[in-house]
């Protein structure tokens, strides 16, 4: 159980060759072995979604995936959203619509929303609400998150 | 302030957002120190029992495990004291940092292990063998008294408050309305679990604790006392905090343990709570059972209220001591004229997780109880629920109004307000009369739909003081240093807005430093919706002083009179017209470290915002589900520094209120085993359950207790949600008084619906 296996995680386009125990979660590997602490751990049982990252384009609860399962896959985290200091449309929309307060759940919501809209840009408002109800936020009461994602969706479709 | 406000009152973007949006936040779990050990807590699996033995031998054999502690190893550390409302008699019920002879709830820390990493630490904790002889648990606060130990019963104390002649009023009453009401056990549950990282710097002889929140100065002082150190040799550091809500940042056993261990082992010690631990070990709140009676006259005017209640405080008295039941007793009268009042609150201990405050502590509970009572009075005298409120509301000319009760060391004096005006605004925004006829039609067509209303008075801006220092650095950077804390609510932005307008600079050029005990000698922290009021006014005072100092120094350098100068957009300019000007940064360079001012705002009274919520719900007779169709919140906070942030506070509080009204509840089985230990059992609302709301931000009644007229905004969103939704469910079922217990879960609603079918067939 404690024997370590070498794996390579590709996170935001950069390769991290690390050695992990088979039981090590992807969330812990991203945070501790790759040093990317923008991915947050809120429940470790797959409900709150704070740890959501994109694995080969799909939103994934990184607390429910083993790091070894992500070997060789393309992983995207919140640190990879802004380009050259310019915020991603989704990040800007969260700022404009006051879609965050304490900011702990925010990376998970950003990755969830970006992942879904890249895959399904024309998603209906109703379906989008279903998707967003898969993550928990305790500060905002969700209304501003929903507004922000809808605004970003519009802009992402326009591009 | 000489120029009109440029930032106060405007919804400017937050200064806090960028690092949080880009993954650059520094939350507790993000802090690491080289050579650190990870601490894992071994917790009692039994609700009540006597510890027979704790065996750590197997755990210590595991590679990567360094050592373990039980109570005997830290016998010199006293229990954690009381921060607020600390009655002497409650001290015997404080929680030991590690359980000594008895365990009193599932989750109570009985030992800790220290290891190289989290995985090994958890393995080791599993190997610690704890042998406990079970005792009968006490699980119901209003049942017969249980035992705390061989001497003490489960009633830790009684909160009593009263004014007027209650017995005479009841004797002379036209009628008496009596209700039996309960509020469930729920709590704040911030998305970031707790965490604490301590390290000892031998060179400076300083103990540091990172991951502090809410009340860093009080925690620093208390830790120093408990660990027998000089105050200044303990420093606390607040990073980003993933939500507060009352629960996060209080001083807990785990905080003391990491600090004691860092001192003992001369190693950085890191502890990060997992979610199961959080749900059984961090403060719970709210659980209360009221037996309430009102004496009324023939028109439904209240003559007296008699409020007896049982507060289920869980296993121990923690830092809040009697705060929650005290507030519940003191704030119950709300916006109504209550000529005589008596409250008797039994503080009862049970073998469940200990309790503390949760956003609108004591008021979510007492508003539910009071507003249920008002609805029942309406039903008794046969008037509608709006009319009964109009008859009983305190009129505008009654304010300021001394209630005749005390709480949190202050006399309750409603400082300003026009309750009837806000009620009218809310009713008109909700088109109340049309709404009523529409709902009537829909009910006639077979739908179970109804509207509810609840009114409340909040409290905020608790003193006694806050101190702020404003400084212009030699490089021109402006820093505000304060002893308050940020729990995610937007403190930095609001304080920067106030400082910017006072000083005459852009709010974006101001950095606000908070929660660092080594930067300012004292501070009160962030609780009781106090920050914008107390720190806001302290900031205005300090910035006013600094502005004077800047103009005096500039006048000398620019060889003109102070009255000829102004500061506009960070530039010292001539008021009379064109002429040479000077950027603040240039002055700061010329006078390094001279441009600094400190001031303190003291206040012995709280300020009292007030509000009205209106709910429209639809009950599904098949599934017993409840959908909130519309929800409207009107709140008067005197003056909104940043309306968008205030609305954010209200909307967020509302969602928590819905959780407590319909979904969230910590349940236990008959042996005291907690049943709500994951997010799959403890149901917090998601985006699906929270409807879009409308918010009326009203500024009719600025507080006379501070020049900007500020009142706090943190708790008005959550306060009356249980009350308003209960009232709407009654209306949907057309059964006044049907809801007597929160949360109204599908199971409970199903029972109500069964009762409804019965009553309609008999």
Are both A60 and A119 inside the same structural domain?
A: no
Please answer yes or no on whether A142 and B690 come within 8 Å at the CB atom: yes
Average pLDDT value for residue range B281-301: 98
Query: What's the CATH code of the domain at B676?
Result: 3.30.365.10
Q: Average of pLDDT values for B319-340? A: 98
Do A28 and A65 lie in one domain? The reply is yes
Same domain for A27 and A53? yes
Q: Do both A61 and A99 map to the same domain?
A: no
Is residue B8 assigned to a domain?
no
Cβ pairs A/B, distance under 8 A: 175
Residues in chain A: 159
B679/A43 Cβ within 8 A:
yes
Look at residues A59, A80, A101 and tell me which one is the last residue of a structural domain.
A80
pLDDT at site B761:
45
Digit-by-digit pLDDT tens for chain A (159 residues) are 579 999 999 999 999 999 999 999 999 999 999 999 999 999 999 999 999 999 999 999 999 999 999 999 999 999 999 999 999 999 999 999 999 999 999 999 999 999 999 999 999 999 999 999 999 999 999 999 999 999 999 999 986
Last residue in a domain, options B272, B306, B331: B272
Task: Indicate if B477 and B452 belong to the same structural domain.
Answer: no
Model confidence over B606-619: pLDDT tens digits? 999 999 999 999 99
Is the minimum CB–CB distance between A98 and chain B shorter than 8 Å?
yes
Q: Please, which pLDDT band fits residue B757 given cuts at 50, 70 and 90?
A: low
Q: What DSSP designation does B220 have?
A: H
C-alpha span between B662 and B466 (Å, rounded): 38
Residues B534 and B437 in one domain: no
Which residues in chain B are contacts of A101 at CB distance < 8 A? 243, 488-490, 648, 652
| Across B240-253, average pLDDT | 97
Q: Phi-psi region for residue B474, left (φ > 0), alpha (ψ -120 to 50) or beta? A: alpha
Q: Which of B512, B513, B511, B515 is nearest to B524 (CA)?
A: B515
Q: pLDDT at position B461, please? A: 94
B101-115, B273-287, B572-586: range with lowest mean pLDDT: B572-586
pLDDT more than 90, % of chain B: 95
Would residue B158 count as lying in a domain? yes
CA dist list (Å): B141 to B46, B287, B312, B423, B668: 19, 9, 5, 36, 13
pLDDT of residue B121: 98
What average pLDDT does this structure show over B670-681?
98
- Residue in chain A closest to B679 (alpha carbons) equals A47
Tokens of B34: 């080289």
My answer on whether B163 and B212 are in the same domain is no
Instruction: Decide if B602 is catalytic.
Output: no
* Cis ω before B273 (30° cut-off from 0): no
Let me know whether A20 and A67 are in one domain: yes
pLDDT tens sequence across B565-583: 999 999 999 998 788 899 9
Mark whether B124 and B100 lie in a shared domain. Answer: yes
Domain boundary among B393, B424, B448: B393
What is the distance between the alpha carbons of residues B564 and B745, in angstroms, rounded to a whole number?
Answer: 67
Q: What is the arithmetic mean of pLDDT over B25-29?
A: 98
Domain membership of residue B83 (yes or no) is yes
- Asked whether residue B11 is domain-assigned, the answer is no
What is the tens place of the pLDDT at every residue in B504-521? 999 999 999 999 999 999
* DSSP structural state of residue B377: H
Same domain, B323 and B358: yes
Residues A10 and A73 in one domain: yes
B51 and B100 in a single domain? The answer is yes
A66 and A33 co-located in one domain = yes
User: Do both A43 and A99 map to the same domain?
Assistant: no
CA distance B430 to B694: 9
DSSP bridge pairs for B455: B612
Q: How far is B210 from chain A (nearest CA, A)?
A: 16
Residue A128 to residues A24, A108, A124, B122, B164, Cα–Cα distance (Å):
32, 15, 6, 38, 56
Check whether B662 has a pLDDT greater than 80.
yes
Examine residue B2 and state whether it is found in any structural domain, yes or no.
no
Does residue B515 sit within a domain?
yes
Shared domain check, A131 and A94: yes
Q: Check pLDDT > 60 for residue B113.
A: yes
Domain-terminating residue out of A18, A52, A80: A80
> What CATH code is carried by the domain that includes residue A47?
3.10.20.30
Establish if B256 belongs to a structural domain. Answer: yes
Same domain, A63 and A111: no
The number of folded domains in chain A is 2
Separation of alpha carbons B456 and B428, rounded Å: 18
Same domain for B108 and B205, yes or no, is yes
- The yes-or-no verdict on residue B409 having pLDDT over 60 is yes
The beta-carbon neighbor of A102 closest among B30, B243, B686 is: B243
B578 shares a domain with B475:
yes
**In this structure, are B175 and B258 located in the same domain?**
no
* A101, A113, A134: best to mutate for the B interface, most B CBs within 10 A: A101
At residue B762, the pLDDT reads: 40
Domain that holds residue A116: 89-158
Q: Which of A80, A106, A137 is the last residue of a domain?
A: A80
The rounded mean pLDDT for chain B is: 96
Q: Which of B183, B255, B248 is nearest to B220 (CA)?
A: B255
The verdict on B21 and B36 lying in the same domain is no
Quick check: B679 and A133 CB within 8 A? Answer: no
- Smallest Cβ distance to B655: which of A2, A107, A142? A142
Residues of A in contact with B688 (CB under 8 A): 129-130, 133
Same-domain pairing of A93 and A120: yes
Residue B443: left (phi > 0), alpha (psi -120 to 50), or beta?
Answer: alpha
Q: Which of B223, B240, B272 is the last residue of a domain?
A: B272
Distance in Å, alpha carbon of B177 to nearest chain A alpha carbon: 36
The yes-or-no verdict on residue B593 having pLDDT over 60 is: yes
Q: What is the pLDDT of residue B1?
A: 45
User: B622 pLDDT exceeds 50?
Assistant: yes
Same domain as B332, residue B223:
no
Q: Which two tokens stand for residue B296?
A: 């009324």
| A105, A129, A141: residue with CB nearest B191 | A105
Structural domain span for residue B556: 17-25+462-602
Lowest-confidence range among B145-154, B276-285, B385-394, B753-762? B753-762
Q: Largest Cα–Cα distance in chain B?
A: 93
- Which of A12, A42, A97, A104 should we substitute to test contact with B (largest number of B Cβ atoms within 10 Å)? A104
Q: Give how many domains chain B has, as a whole number.
A: 4
B686:A146 CB<8 A: no
Catalytic pick among B277, B365, B371, B715: B715
Contacts of A141 in chain B (CB under 8 A): 648, 651-656, 690, 693, 717
Overall pTM > 0.95: yes
Residue B164 neighbours by CB distance under 10 Å: 16
Residue contact B23–A36, C-beta within 8 A: yes
pLDDT value of position B578: 81
Do B174 and B287 have their domain in common? yes
What is d(CA B654, CA B713) in angstroms, rounded to the nearest whole number? 12
**Residue B116 banded pLDDT, cuts 50, 70, 90:** very high
Contacts of B546 (CB under 8 A, 6+ apart): B470, B471, B472, B503, B595, B596, B597
Mutate to test the interface with A, among B14, B17, B33, B691 (most CBs of A within 10 A): B17
Q: How many CA atoms lie within 13 A of A108 on its CB side?
A: 28
Quick one: which of B705, B601, B722 has its CA closest to B660? B722
Is A15 an 8 Å CB contact of chain B?
Answer: no
Q: DSSP label at B82?
A: -
Q: Do A100 and B17 touch (CB under 8 A)?
A: yes
Whether A58 and A120 share a structural domain: no
- Confirm whether B731 is domain-assigned: yes
Note the pLDDT tens digit of each residue in B118-129.
999 999 999 999
Check residue B475 and give its pLDDT.
87
């Amino acid at each position: 159980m404690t024997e370590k296996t070498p794996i390579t995680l590709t996170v935001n386009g950069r390769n991290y060759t690390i050695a992990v125990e088979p039981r090590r979660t992807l969330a812990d590997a991203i945070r501790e072995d790759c040093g990317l602490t923008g991915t947050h751990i809120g429940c470790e049982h797959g409900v709150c979604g704070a740890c959501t990252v994109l694995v080969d384009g799909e939103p994934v609860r990184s607390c429910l995936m083993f790091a070894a399962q992500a070997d060789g896959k393309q992983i995207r985290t919140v640190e990879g959203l802004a380009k050259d200091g310019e915020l991603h449309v989704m990040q800007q929309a969260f700022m404009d619509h006051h879609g965050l307060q304490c900011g702990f759940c925010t990376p998970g919501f950003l990755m969830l929303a970006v992942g879904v809209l890249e895959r399904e840009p024309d998603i209906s408002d109703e379906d989008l609400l279903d998707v967003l109800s898969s993550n928990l936020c305790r500060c905002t009461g969700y209304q501003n998150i929903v507004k922000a994602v809808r605004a970003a969706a519009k802009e992402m479709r326009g591009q | 302030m000489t120029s009109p406000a440029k930032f106060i009152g405007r919804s400017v973007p937050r200064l806090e957002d960028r690092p949080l949006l880009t993954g650059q936040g520094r939350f507790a779990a993000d802090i690491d120190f080289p050579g650190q050990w990870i601490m894992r807590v071994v917790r009692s699996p039994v609700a009540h029992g006597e510890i027979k033995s704790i065996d750590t031998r197997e755990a210590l054999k595991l590679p990567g495990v360094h050592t373990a502690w039980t109570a005997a190893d830290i016998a010199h550390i006293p229990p954690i004291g009381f921060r607020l409302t600390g009655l002497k008699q409650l001290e015997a019920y404080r929680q030991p940092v590690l359980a000594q002879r008895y365990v009193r709830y599932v989750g109570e820390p009985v030992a800790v292990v220290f290891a190289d990493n989290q995985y090994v630490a958890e393995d080791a904790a599993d190997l610690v063998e704890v042998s406990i002889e079970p005792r009968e648990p006490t699980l119901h606060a209003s049942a017969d008294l249980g035992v705390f130990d061989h001497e003490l019963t489960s009633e830790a104390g009684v909160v009593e408050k009263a004014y007027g002649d209650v017995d005479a009023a009841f004797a002379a009453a036209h009628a008496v309305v009596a209700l039996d009401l309960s509020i469930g056990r729920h709590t704040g549950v911030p998305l970031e679990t707790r965490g604490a990282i301590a390290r000892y710097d031998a060179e400076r002889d300083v103990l540091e604790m990172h991951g502090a929140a809410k009340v860093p100065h009080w925690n620093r002082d208390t830790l120093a006392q408990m660990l027998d150190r000089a105050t200044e040799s303990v420093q606390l550091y607040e990073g980003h905090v993933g939500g507060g809500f009352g629960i996060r940042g209080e001083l807990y056993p785990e905080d003391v343990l990491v600090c004691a261990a860092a001192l003992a082992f001369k190693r950085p010690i890191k502890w990060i709570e997992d979610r199961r631990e959080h749900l059984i070990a961090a403060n719970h709140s709210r659980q209360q059972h009221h037996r309430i009676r009102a004496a009324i006259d023939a028109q439904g005017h209240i003559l007296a209220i008699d409020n007896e209640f049982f507060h289920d405080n869980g296993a121990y008295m923690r830092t809040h001591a009697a705060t929650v039941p005290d507030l519940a007793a003191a704030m119950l009268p709300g916006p109504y004229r209550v000529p005589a009042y008596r409250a008797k609150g039994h503080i009862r201990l049970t073998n469940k997780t200990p309790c503390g405050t949760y956003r609108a502590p004591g008021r979510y509970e007492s508003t539910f109880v009071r507003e249920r009572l008002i609805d029942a009075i309406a039903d008794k005298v046969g008037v509608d629920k709006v009319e009964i409120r109009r008859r009983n509301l305190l009129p505008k000319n009654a304010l300021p109004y001394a209630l005749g009760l005390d709480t949190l060391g202050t006399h309750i004096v409603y400082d300003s307000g026009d309750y009837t005006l806000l009620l009218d605004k809310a009713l008109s925004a909700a088109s109340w009369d049309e709404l009523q006829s529409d709902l009537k039609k829909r009910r006639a067509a077979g739908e179970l739909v109804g509207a509810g209303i609840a009114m409340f008075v909040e409290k905020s801006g608790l003193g006694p003081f806050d101190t702020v220092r404003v400084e212009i650095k030699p490089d021109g950077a402006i820093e505000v240093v304060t002893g308050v804390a940020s729990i995610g609510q937007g403190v930095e932005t609001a304080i920067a807005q106030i400082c910017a307008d006072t000083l005459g600079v852009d709010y974006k050029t101001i950095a606000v430093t908070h929660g660092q005990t080594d930067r300012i000698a004292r501070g009160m922290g962030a609780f009781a919706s106090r920050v914008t009021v107390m720190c806001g006014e302290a900031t205005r005072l300090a910035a006013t002083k600094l502005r004077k100092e800047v103009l005096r120094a500039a006048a000398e350098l620019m060889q003109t009179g102070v009255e000829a100068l102004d500061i506009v957009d960070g530039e010292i300019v001539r008021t009379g017209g064109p002429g040479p000007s000077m950027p603040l940064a240039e002055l700061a360079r010329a006078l390094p470290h001279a441009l600094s001012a400190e001031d303190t705002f003291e206040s012995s009274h709280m300020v009292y915002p007030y509000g009205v919520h209106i709910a429209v719900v639809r009950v599904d007779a098949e599934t017993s589900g409840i959908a909130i169709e519309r929800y409207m919140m009107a709140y008067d906070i005197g003056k909104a520094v940043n309306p968008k942030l205030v609305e954010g506070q209200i909307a967020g509080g509302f969602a928590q209120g819905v959780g407590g009204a319909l979904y969230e509840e910590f349940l236990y089985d008959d042996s005291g085993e907690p049943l709500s230990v994951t997010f799959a059992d403890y149901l917090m609302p998601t985006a699906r359950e929270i409807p879009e709301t409308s918010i009326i931000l009203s500024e009719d009644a600025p507080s006379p207790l501070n020049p900007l007229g500020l009142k706090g905004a943190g708790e008005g969103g959550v306060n009356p949600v249980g009350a308003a939704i209960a009232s709407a469910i009654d209306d949907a079922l057309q059964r006044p008084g049907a809801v007597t217990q929160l949360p109204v879960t599908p199971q409970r609603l199903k029972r109500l619906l069964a009762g409804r079918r019965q009553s309609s067939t008999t």
